[in-house]
Amino acid sequence: MKGFGIHIEGLRKRYGEGNAAVDALKDVNMTVAPGEVVGLIGPSGSGKSTLLKCLGAVIEPTAGRMTLGDEVIFEDGWKIPDLRALRRDRIGFVFQAPYLIPFLDVIDNVALLPMLAGKPNGEARNRANELLEALDVGHRAKAQPSQLSGGEQQRVAIARALANQPPVILADEPTAPLDSERALSVVRILNDMAQQFRTAIIVVTHDEKIIPTFKRVYHIRDGQTHEEKGLGAGKSEF
């Protein structure tokens, strides 16, 4: 991967038409470098989830340009024909709740993505094992998700997001259900993983505890992003 982790220019998203039209995103500009973790904060209804859905190729932006690595993936329309494959191979997702597949054990929850991408089972499980070890949950590889604590589940979810080595991970309030200690632990892991795998990570959060840990934070308000540097740079344990 060269250049940007992810780069967004003038992204807009309009819902509805005519008088009923609502501009959820008006002018979003954002750049996240490989290995960087940035925060995305904003009040409810500011457009965070819409932005995340656009970045996740789940909904189509109305206008703008998105570049992933060195490839333009959106410019007044998707440039990638298979968005499902784009999400599978090049975007990792971490949700507010872990949303692990309850009928798969931990290792297969992680190995599922490489398998979906066509990797042989053995190779996919080896990759999953490596990630679980790196995230310190390797000893729970054969456990069922319901047998894990909330923090362990979230670490497995992070491992799943990393399974196909995507250039970007979108984390939607990943620390919301966790206490302070575990929330900070999750952010520390995200930072470590970003460094280790050169992944650009965007963390949408309301969590006051973790905001100071980001070196850069994008504030989204009325559908527009404003970069706020130095919110926590150098002040946190990171």
Partner 1 sequence: MISLAGRDILHSWSKFVLTGIGLGLLIGVTLTMAGVYRGMVDDAKALLNNSGADIWVVQQGTQGPYAESSNLRDDVYRALLTQPGVSRAANVTYLTMQVRVGNTDVRAMVVGFEPGQPGEPGYLVAGRQITRSHYEAVADMKTGFQLGDTLRIRRHDYRVVGLTRRMVSSGGDPMVFIPLKDAQEAQFLKDNDAILNERARTIANPVLNRPGVPGLLDAILASQNANHNVNAVLVQIASNIDPEHVASEIRRWKHLQAFTRAQLEDILVSKLIATSAKQIGMFLVILSIVSAAIVAFIIYTMTLGKIREIAVLKLIGTRNRTIAGMILQQAMGLGVIGFMVGKTAATVWAPFFPKFVLLEQGDTVRGFIVVMFICALASTLAIRVALRVDPATAIGG
Place of tokens 């993936």: 73
> How many whole angstroms separate alpha carbon 52 and alpha carbon 216?
17
Dist CA 193 CA 132 (whole Å): 12
Candidates 12, 14, 26, 53: give the one binding partner 1 (CB under 8 A).
Answer: 53
Does 207 help bind partner 1 (rule: CB under 8 A)?
no
Distances from the Cα of 207 to the Cαs of 42, 165, 228, in angstroms? 11, 27, 16
Q: Which amino acid is at 110?
A: V
Number of residues that bind partner 1 (CB under 8 A): 33
Given 101, 142, 179, 235, the residue binding partner 1 (CB under 8 A): 101
- Of residues 160 through 199, those in contact with partner 1 by CB under 8 A are 160, 172-173
Taking the C-alpha atoms of residue 165 and residue 90, their distance in angstroms, rounded to an integer, is 7
Binding positions for partner 1, 103-162, rule CB under 8 A: 103-104, 108, 111-113, 115-117, 121, 144, 160
User: Does 95 interact with partner 1 (rule: CB under 8 A)?
Assistant: yes
Place of tokens 């309301």: 206
Looking at the Cβ atoms of 21 and 58, the one nearer to partner 1 is 58
Please say which residue, 104 or 231, places its beta carbon nearer to partner 1.
Answer: 104
Quick one: which of 38, 64, 89, 236 contacts partner 1 (CB under 8 A)?
89
Nearest CA to 51 out of 170, 177, 176 is that of 170
Q: Which CB atom, from 183 or from 236, has the smaller least distance to partner 1?
A: 183
Q: For residues 28 and 64, is the Cβ–Cβ distance under 8 A?
A: yes
Closest C-alpha among 11, 161, 163, 5 to residue 71:
5
Q: Which residues bind partner 1 (CB under 8 A)?
A: 48-50, 52-53, 56, 58-59, 84-85, 87-89, 93, 95-96, 99, 101-104, 108, 111-113, 115-117, 121, 144, 160, 172-173
